Structure 1
């Protein structure tokens, strides 16, 4: 068995429309990934679970998720966590209201130091329904191809 070089994590809730885009993209490409990629699907995880699971990973991580970035629905971005500021939501009483940025802040407080990359997609609609919006469905192959390219670039850099 090959040693994993990278962890690819899809985050989302497939029962909340476009919130399931991370899982949909990773499902779309998983058979094209090299065996050196550890693929994980995190469906409907709360912030405390996400923080604990991040702390257990000892390699670079790519997160594929829906995000509110103020872009037009269906647009996407690739970025390294160290190159951006993630907004936190500390003013809620329940951990169920925490987002990924809060989970990451907790993990970092507890010692998380891995390289972290994001492939984030701006949602069109997040509501209680299965399936993605038409725009995200239409862009699925383009987003999947771009993510594969980014993964291959990271692997080639880490093996040289």
Structure 2
């Protein structure tokens, strides 16, 4: 009996849950603005996608192509992106509705240190507030698509590939 072909779904759930836990830890330790610690989520994502590719190759005993492995990794990354979009909406709209204002205040402090005028800061804040969720969702899609493609390429490159030739003549 062949194994089920939903490894990408389980992998996406596991990767997403790990990233969500990391984000919660960052939130509750007031480290949301720490870019270095924020990169841990992306590192977990890349390693997770590579592991999905390796696991898929192992399940198929190496009888896979580069394209099969890349597709498996990218499907997983697309599911992670979808889960993370849902998480982001829940986080900013339901769980921590004050977080966007905190992030905007942090940006205001950065703009002030750069010497921008009050008028420029007000315009920037108005645009940021109006399009905050659009930026969050667009940024999530963009980052996970780019990183997913890179991670899938890496995972497909390092996984064992020994596809049996599909010879219609049986030679």
Q: Normalising by the residue count of structure 1, what TM-score does the alignment of the two structures yield? A: 0.29
Higher helix share: 2
Q: Normalising by the residue count of structure 2, what TM-score does the alignment of the two structures yield? A: 0.27
Higher strand share: 1
Structure showing greater radius of gyration is 2
